[in-house]
Amino acid sequence: MELKSNLKNFKINTVKIKSIKKIGIIKAHNLSVKKNKNFLLSNGVLTHNTDSAFSALRNVVEKYSQTSRFICTCNYISKIPDAIQSRMQSYKFERVSKEYIEKYCSDILKIENIKFDKDSLLFVIDSLYPDIRKVINCLQKSSLTGELKVNKDISLSIEKTLVDLTSNLVYAVKNKDSMNINKNLKKVLDLLNENDDVIDYRSVYQELFFKGDILIQAKVIINKYSNSHNQCLVPKMHFIGMIFDIIQTIQEYYKALRGK
State pLDDT tens for residues 115-164: 999 988 998 888 777 778 878 888 888 888 899 988 765 445 688 889 98
- Do 206 and 117 lie in one domain? The reply is no
- Do 103 and 88 lie in one domain? The reply is no
pLDDT of 58: 84
Amino acid at 139: L
pLDDT of 247: 93
Q: 68 — alpha (psi -120 to 50), left (phi > 0) or beta?
A: beta
Domain count along the chain: 3
Q: Is residue 23 assigned to a domain?
A: no
Q: Is residue 176 assigned to a domain?
A: yes
- Do 170 and 249 lie in one domain? The reply is yes
**Residue 52 belongs to a domain with what CATH number?**
3.40.50.300
Across the chain, mean pLDDT equals 80
Q: Is the pTM of this model over 0.75?
A: no
Q: Is residue 227 assigned to a domain?
A: yes
Of 190, 124, 133, 137, nearest in space to 162 by CA? 190
pLDDT of 13: 66
| Domain extent at residue 121 | 98-141
Average pLDDT by stretches of 10, the chain with 260 residues: 48 67 62 60 63 81 81 73 82 83 92 91 83 83 87 64 90 89 91 80 87 86 90 88 93 80
- DSSP 8-state code for residue 196: T
Q: CB neighbours of 190 closer than 8 A, spacing ≥ 6?
A: none
- Do 76 and 107 lie in one domain? The reply is no
- Do 164 and 88 lie in one domain? The reply is no
Q: CB neighbours of 69 closer than 8 A, spacing ≥ 6?
A: 37, 38, 39, 40
Q: Is residue 216 assigned to a domain?
A: yes
